[in-house]
């Protein structure tokens, strides 16, 4: 499956993380907001829909960062991470999930869903190269 993830940064360079709700796969772990692309959707449309559904924000501009495959013991996914450069609205936890803003370099990898760890690493490297 093709899973979209959005990397939103605030004015201080902190990135937005969402906690997976109880009852879902990897409940309690933190991830970049996003979800599965539906058939017929472009990646960008899927990302925009997920950000609207989960956070209530309207995507204005995003750039692809990296797409990495992951295998959760049988279910394979491609985690397609985009830097969300501009959006409208204040992110709100519309699905009951906790949210936090954190500087990428200070995120404890252990709290992240495993597939998101190499995405964070790529973001940190991109930030330090900028």
Residues in touch with ligand CDP (CB under 6 A): 3, 5, 24-26, 31-32, 34-36, 72, 77, 79, 113, 115-116
Quote the least distance from Cβ 102 to ligand CDP, whole Å: 15
Task: Give the residue among 52, 53, 122 at the shortest CA–CA distance from 87.
Answer: 52
Quote the least distance from Cβ 58 to ligand CDP, whole Å: 18
Q: Which residues are paired to 81 by β-bridges?
A: 5, 66
| Closer to ligand CDP by Cβ: residue 19 or 127 | 19
Positive/negative CA dihedral, 53, 27, 70, 16: positive
Q: Report helix, strand or coil for 60.
A: strand
| Closer to ligand CDP by Cβ: residue 34 or 91 | 34
What does DSSP say about strands 15-19 and 99-102: parallel, antiparallel, or unpaired? antiparallel
The residue number with the shortest CB distance to ligand CDP is 35
Quote the least distance from Cβ 20 to ligand CDP, whole Å: 7
């Amino acid at each position: 499956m093709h899973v979209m993830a959005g990397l939103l940064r605030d004015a201080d360079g902190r990135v937005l993380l969402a906690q997976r709700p109880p009852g879902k796969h990897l409940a309690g772990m933190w991830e970049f907001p996003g979800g599965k692309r539906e058939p017929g959707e472009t990646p960008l449309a899927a990302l925009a829909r997920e950000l609207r559904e989960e956070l209530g924000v309207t995507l204005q501009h995003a750039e692809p960062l990296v797409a990495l495959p992951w295998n959760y013991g049988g279910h394979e996914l491609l985690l397609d991470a985009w830097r969300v450069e501009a959006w409208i609205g204040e992110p709100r936890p519309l699905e009951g999930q906790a949210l936090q803003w954190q500087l990428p370099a200070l995120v404890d990898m252990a709290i992240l869903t495993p597939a998101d760890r190499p995405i964070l690493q790529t973001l940190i490297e991109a930030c330090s190269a900028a």
